[in-house]
Amino acid sequence: MRKLATIRSVTETRPIDGADMIELAIVDGWKCVTKKGEYAAGDAVIYCEIDSFLPARDEFEFLRKSSLKTMDDREGFRLRTVKLRGQISQGLLIDPAILKRPFAVGEDVTVELGIVKYEAPIPACLGGDVIGGFPAFIEKTDEERIQNLASDFESYRDRTFYVSEKIDGTSFTAFMKDGEFGVCGRNWQLAEDATNSHWRVVRALNLQARLAGLGRSIAVQGELVGPGIQKNRYGLKEPTVFVFNVYDIDASAYVEKSEMEAICGQLGLLIVPPLGEMTIQESLDAMLELAEGKSVLNPKTQREGLVWVSGSGDDRVSFKTISNKFLVKYGG
């Protein structure tokens, strides 16, 4: 389960130009706007990430006006990227006294506070019957944001990364394991359905037969985009998958990018737009600025960000940098 609420330390606080009542608190790589004087460097806080869905309880009622949402027929508060006095703010800082018990920096308190990840309503084209949960023999796709890797940042400087555009769609996985074929969304394996966009792509590409023809137990993972999905920001006419990973099930590891590209060529699948090899920028802020830009798929829209991958197997390092311009415009 993703750690949405963790106990961390405030790194520093900074003033905000023209603001008398608020200031900026830095926690690892995240920047949060807070009341002036509420926190100081070294203070322990509970940091709640953007896209957290906080339960409707008294301690969070101050969020009702700005953040109220309904998910799975229950009310709660979704944390999003916002801009206050020209300053990006991402997440929420809470006094750990809310726990009413001893605590330690590094603790994950997501479950204790009843926080879950916000999931937007599923479009009709992605619905359908569920066979079961996401297969345990495949790693789920959920790259860590660079802000959560601030302590590791310096160790990445000697690495060369394969960088690609992060596509804004919905998760797609198709696998072949010991002759068994399956199709999955982010959390579930899906039954075949003529109206489901995942299965429409599978049938259009004859993907089941092509995967079987490889004679391997592998999974292809990508982003499904097109009509009815995330407002079809790229203006595509048909559901389309852009692959970003190929997972070798027998080896329990992702294949290298060159092999991924070769396999996708055999399967007739597109890959996410590659942007070439890069090294780490001088700072986290520079990394986030680099994430901004226009999409390769449609230069009329902002790209969601970048995905960085280096190495393979046990030496593999990967993370994502999400464009703040995209987050402010589209939410998240």
pLDDT digits (tens, 9 = 90+) for 90-103: 999 999 999 999 99
- Quick one: average pLDDT of 248-257? 93
pLDDT of residue 120: 80
What CATH number did the domain enclosing 89 receive?
2.40.50
109 and 130 together in one domain: no
pLDDT in tens, 15-62: 999 899 999 999 998 999 999 999 999 999 999 999 999 999 999 999
pLDDT of residue 124: 67
Whole-number percent of the chain with pLDDT over 90:
83
Higher per-residue pLDDT: 186 or 242: 242
206 phi and psi angles, rounded to 5 deg: 50, 45
Question: Of the candidates 98, 117, 136, which is a domain's last residue?
Answer: 117
How many domains is the chain partitioned into structurally?
2
pLDDT of 187 strictly over 90: no
297 and 164 together in one domain: yes
pLDDT in tens, 276-305: 999 999 999 999 999 999 999 999 999 999
Higher per-residue pLDDT: 271 or 316: 271
pLDDT of 142 strictly over 80: no
Question: Of the candidates 61, 87, 117, which is a domain's last residue?
Answer: 117
With left for phi above 0 and alpha for psi between -120 and 50, is residue 186 left, alpha or beta? alpha
Give me 83's structure tokens. Answer: 């801009």
pLDDT of residue 64: 95
Cα angle 91, 118, 83; round to 5: 35
How many residues comprise the chain?
332
pLDDT of residue 70: 94
147 and 275 together in one domain: yes
134 and 60 together in one domain: no
108 and 144 together in one domain: no
pLDDT of 1 strictly over 70: no
pLDDT of residue 314: 80
Q: pTM here?
A: 0.86
290 and 142 together in one domain: yes
157 and 24 together in one domain: no
142 and 37 together in one domain: no
pLDDT in tens, 58-70: 999 999 999 999 9
Structural domain range at position 263? 124-330
95 and 155 together in one domain: no
74 and 187 together in one domain: no
Question: Of the candidates 86, 102, 117, which is a domain's last residue?
Answer: 117
- Quick one: average pLDDT of 295-316? 92
pLDDT in tens, 191-224: 998 888 999 999 999 999 999 999 999 999 999 9
- Residue closest to 42 by CA, chosen among 10, 8, 7: 10
- Helix 207-214 × helix 197-205 angle, to 10°: 60
Annotate 19-55 with b (16+ C-beta within 10 A) or e (fewer). eeebbbbbbbbbbbbbeeeebeeebbbbbbbbbbbbe
What does pLDDT average to over the chain?
Answer: 93
